[in-house]
Amino acid sequence: MYADDYDGRFMKGFTAQPQSNRWVSALGEYYKWDDEFTCCPNATKPWVDEYGVTEGAEGTNIGVTMAWGYMNKSHWVKPMKGSYGINAWCVDPQPGREPHGGDPGWFWRGPTVAGAGFVPLFLEAQRYNGVPLHTDRPPSFSGERWNDDAQMGRYCLDRHDGFGASLFLDYSARKVGLKEYWTLKWHRAYDETGPWTLAGGAQPSDWPEWMTHLKDY
């Protein structure tokens, strides 16, 4: 709906000027700022409550079963919680304002692209966005990766017995195996046969212990 209203383009992303254009605020009128829409039913309790009291779950395995937030950014109508995150390569950043130093040609700036069924758009997440790379190491434990290093870990969470709910750029939805995340087309130059895939030579023993029993891709 947003892309339809903005000439087939996505929101500018969190580096936009003069104001924040994160999906949480850019899509707010579409989901009516109702955090029932932004939460997985398995992760609805926020690790920061409405009074700003933290549960201390950020970056822990406890955080897997909790929502991010309540968080409040400039231009958000109200503090929000959620347990889904956007693939932050699916934004239309301003020239010279590309997040995390990403190459301008890497971004999916709108939904009309070839192979859209393999481009993740929204996923189970420990933070509301992330910029995965094919070289990102898997998290040492489920829930580890809140901070900036190896952002694939923000999505690689064991909420559903080795799978995560995912929405793709063609607006199809399906469950995705946690190891399968490394084989998806996160950005335009992403290597789907990187070092953490079967095609790239990854072995079950290469993965952290909590992931060794999961299906390989």
- Give the separation between CA 60 and CA 27, rounded to whole angstroms: 29
Q: Which of the four pLDDT bands, split at 50, 70 and 90, describes residue 73?
A: confident
Instruction: For residue range 24-65, list pLDDT tens digits in order.
Output: 999 999 999 999 999 999 999 999 998 889 999 999 999 999
pLDDT of residue 111: 95
What is the value of pTM for the model shown? 0.95
Q: Is 123 helix (H, G, I), strand (E, B) or coil?
A: strand
Report the residue count for the chain.
217
pLDDT of residue 9: 96
Burial of 105 (0-12, 13-18, 19+ CB in 10 A): exposed
- Neighbour tally for 72: CB within 10 Å: 13
**Is the confidence at residue 186, as pLDDT, over 80?**
yes
Q: Residue 46 forms beta bridges with which residues?
A: 67
**What is the maximum alpha-carbon separation in the chain?**
48
pLDDT of residue 20: 77
Q: What are phi and psi of 185, to 5 degrees?
A: -95, 80
Q: What is the mean pLDDT of residues 59-79?
A: 91
Instruction: For residue range 129-182, list pLDDT tens digits in order.
Output: 999 999 999 999 999 999 999 999 999 999 999 999 999 999 999 999 999 999
